[in-house]
Chains A and B, each alone.
Chain A
Amino acid sequence: MTTSAAPRPAAVWVKRNLFRSPFDAVLTVVFGLLAVYVTFQLVRFVFVTARWEIIGTNLKLLMVGNWTMIHLPRIAIAMIILAVWGGSIGGLIHARQVRRGTSTLAEMSLPTRTGDLVRRFGILIATVLLLLLLTTTPGPWLMAAGAVVGAVLGRVIGGVLGRLHYPRPVAVPGALVFAAIPIAMYFYLIDAVPLAEWEGFLFNIFAAMAGIILCFPLGVLLALGRRSKMKLLRLMSTAYIEIVRGSPLFVLLLLANVSLEFFVPSSIAPSKPVRAIVTFTLFTAAYLAEIVRGGLQSIPRGQVEAARSLGLSPVTQLSRIVLPQALRNVIPAQIGQFISLFKDTTLAGLGLGILDMLAVSEAITQQPDFRGQGLIIETLAFTAFLFWVGSFTMSRESQRLERKLGVGTR
Chain B
Amino acid sequence: MTTPTVTVRPPPWRNVRVLSWVFQLVVFAVVAVVFLWLYGNYEENVARTGIPTNFDFLDNPTSFEIPGNDFSQTQPVRDVLVEGFLNTLRVSVVGIVLATILGTLIGIGRLSRNWVVRRISTVYVEVVRNVPLLIILTFIFLGVVLQALPTIQEAWTPGGVAVLSNRGIGVPWYEGGSGFQLLLLAVIGLVGWWAIARWRRGVSGRTGEPSRAGLYGGGFFLAVTIGGWFAFGFGVTTPVVAGRQIAGGMRIDPSYFALLVALVVYTASHIAEIVRGSIQAVPRGQEEAARALALSPSQRMWNVVLPQAMRIAIPPLGNQYLNLIKNSSLGAGFAYFELTNVTRVTVGNGSPAVPAFTLALAIYVGLSLLTSVLVNIANRRFILVER
A interface residues (Cβ-Cβ under 8 A, vs B): 16-18, 20, 24, 27-28, 31-32, 34-35, 225, 229-233, 236, 242-243, 245-252, 254-255, 258-259, 261-266, 339, 343-344, 346-347, 350, 358, 362, 374, 376-377, 380-381, 383-384, 387-388, 391-392, 395
Contacts and interface: CB of A to CB of B under 8 A. Distances in A.
A251 B340 contact: yes
B42 A392 contact: no
Given A18-B114, A233-B24, A247-B326, A388 B41 contact: no
A204 to B, nearest CB: 9
Nearest to B368: A246
24 contacts: A35-B119, A225-B27, A229-B20, A232-B24, A242-B365, A247-B365, A247-B368, A248-B340, A249-B326, A251-B357, A254-B344, A254-B357, A255-B354, A258-B354, A258-B357, A261-B45, A263-B41, A266-B45, A266-B48, A350-B333, A358-B135, A377-B139, A384-B131, A392-B126
B116 A248 contact: no
Interface in B247-301: none
Interface of B: 20, 23-24, 27-28, 31, 38, 41-42, 44-46, 48, 112-117, 119-120, 126-127, 129-136, 138-139, 142-143, 147, 322, 326-330, 332-333, 340, 343-344, 347, 353-354, 357-358, 360-361, 364-369
Nearest to A387: B132
Nearest to A26: B114
A392 B129 CA distance: 9
A248 B327 contact: yes
Contacts of A254: 332, 340, 343-344, 357
Contacts, number: 167
B305 to A, nearest CB: 19
Contacts of B132: 343-344, 346, 358, 384, 387
Nearest to A31: B116
Contacts of A247: 326, 361, 364-365, 368
Given A258-B347, A262-B41, A266-B44, A230 B23 contact: yes
A250 B329 contact: yes
A27 B27 CA distance: 62
A245 B368 contact: yes
A27 B117 contact: yes
Contacts of B368: 242, 245-247
A264 B361 contact: no
A248 B364 contact: yes
B42 A384 contact: no
Contacts of A232: 24, 27-28
Contacts of A381: 139
B361 A387 contact: no
A35 B365 contact: no
A27 B369 CA distance: 41
Contact of A343 (B114, B133, B369): B133
Nearest to B127: A388
Interface centre among A20, A32, A245, A246 (most CB of B within 10 A): A246
Nearest to B21: A230
B326 A248 contact: yes
A255 B147 contact: no
B116 A392 contact: no
Nearest to B146: A376
A242 B114 CA distance: 43
Given A27-B114, A248-B364, A358-B135, A262 B45 contact: yes
B142 A380 contact: yes
B138 A358 contact: yes
Contact of A250 (B119, B138, B330): B330
Contact of A377 (B46, B147, B327): B147
Contact of A350 (B24, B134, B327): B134
